[in-house]
Amino acid sequence: MLTSENPVISSSSLFRLPKETIGDLDAETAARLVAASSDVAMVIDRDGIIRDIAVSGSDMPTDGFSDIIERRWVDTVANDSRRKVEEILSDASAHRESRWREVNQQSASGSIPLRYMAVDFGRDGRVIALGHDLRAGQAMQQRILQAQQSMERDYVKLRQAESRYRVLFQMASEAVLIVDPVSKKIVEANPAAGNLLGADYSSLAGQAFGKLFHPDSRDLAGALLVDQTTRPEPISVRLADGRQGYQASAALFRQDGSAHALISLSAGANEPSLPEDEAKQRLLRVLNRIPDAFVITDETMNILDVNLAFLELSQLPSADAAKGESLARFLGRPGVDLRVLTRNLREHGWVRNFGTVIRTVHGDQEEVDLSAVSVLTGLEATHGFVIRPVRRAVPPPSARQEQLPRTAEELTQLVGRISLREIVAETTDVIERMCIKSALNLTGNNRASAAEILGLSRQSLYSKLSRHGLGGSDNDLGEDH
């Protein structure tokens, strides 16, 4: 039983004891109470016509709603809000629980977003509609959205700047190190630093900065991390392996609240020629004179350099005529060899004794054996090819053994003795076996490549290998040599 001593309070109901707690309110007091509880309050009759209106919001245009009195409420809102107004009035007239709805109210000063609910106050079916101004909330949401978009734009710019820094750092020809001045350890190094120091640049991270220099230069190099203001000019240092004539400079920057030093190492203007450079020059001279053709290409098989033997083999007039041309113009059977060769280089990094043909600029062809290697240079791969002509005066024993079992005359004599199907099957099996063995020899026993050359699926090739006794057993189905 409910009593005044222990009332049950519900957020969705009115006061339980209105007369005892509030008492009787006169019309003027009730009007002030309704007006104070909302930004806009309207009295609407049973026909949905606005009979009176009170505007109490400080930002509301008080004279902007005067022209909607004596009009149907549904006619004073935007088209997308008409259905909501009808539902508000229907719920209030049927004494159903009201809920707030957002309505775009039209006024003399324009459309104003309001959040409405309606209450039936029991006099001739009239309803009181209470509205709260949503413009402040919408403005706040708009500012939040703009702030989020601004943060997203700044984040995108930051990522783009970091990407540009990474590209510049990796591709810089000058050796660059990032060092922690406190621990005196290398935080990061670029590929040029690895080339200069004769080590993998990724392995330099975590090493002591002083170990890169000769004992005579360690104190001088360490001073770059302590106080750079006294050394604005680059200093001359000696590397750990004894090489001299290098200039080191430093720049201090802050990251994540701590200081870091950007160290740049470069060769001096008067640096003497290094033994490594002389060895490279001798190697290039040897490669240019070897009797086997030698070609260097980029990752897309465009020729970067060739030796004299390749010019003779392809009958090109000069190395400049070869540079920039695709190797596919001179090497391989159309549509097959280069694709197989490229895939093997990408997967294994090298190819040995790959049988193919080379075409001259005049259209002549010659069989060659090819060996190749792929080397990562910076961010791209460089391919090197050694091409050797194959001149066979006598067919190999395996080729002599694989002969057709009968001559054309012998085959015609078999007609009438055995069926045509048996004659064709016997000849077809030998030809098929010879073609499969030739494809395996061309691809270095790589069955996936052999299947591609023969125009067969892998499963079909494995089945034929097993039928001809060429090592296509079930245990070998997953192996490509």
Query: Residue 145 burial (CB < 10 Å; 0-12/13-18/19+)?
Result: exposed
| Position 479 confidence tier, pLDDT thresholds 50, 70, 90 | very low
Q: Which residues contact 451 (CB under 8 A, 6 or more apart)?
A: 457, 458, 460, 461
Residues whose CB falls within 8 Å of the CB of residue 211, separated by 6 or more in sequence, listed in order: 240
Closest CA to 351 of 337, 336, 365: 337
Phi, psi of 160 (to 5 degrees): -65, -40
pLDDT at 480 over 60: no
Phi-psi region of 103 (alpha: psi -120 to 50; beta: other; left: phi over 0): beta
Q: Mean pLDDT across the stretch 258-263?
A: 85
pLDDT tens-digit readout, 342-365: 888 888 888 888 888 888 888 888
* CA gap 293, 308 in Å, rounded: 7
Instruction: Name residues whose C-beta falls within 8 Å of residue 237's C-beta, 6 or more positions apart in sequence.
Output: 213, 214, 217, 220, 221, 246, 247, 248, 265
Is 231 or 341 the better-scoring residue by pLDDT? Answer: 341
pLDDT score at 19: 64
Distance of CA 180 to the CA centre of its chain: 31
Determine the average pLDDT of the residues in 70-81: 88
Q: What is the mean pLDDT of residues 303-332?
A: 87
Q: How far apart are CA 461 and CA 201, in angstroms?
A: 45
Residue 431: is its pLDDT beyond 80?
yes
Is 57 a residue whose pLDDT tops 80? no
Structure tokens at 430: 């030998």
Phi, psi (degrees; rounded to nearest 5) at 305: -160, 155
Which pTM was predicted?
0.35
Alpha helices in 324-391 (DSSP H): 337-348
**pLDDT band for position 231 (50/70/90)?**
low
By residue count, the chain amounts to 481
Cα four-point dihedral sign 437, 438, 439, 443:
positive
Res 60 pLDDT > 60: yes
Can you spell out the DSSP letters for 422-447? HHHHHHHHHHHHHHHHHHHHHTTS-H
What secondary structure does DSSP assign to 248-260, as a single string?
A: EEEEEEEETTEEE
Q: What is the pLDDT of residue 457?
A: 86
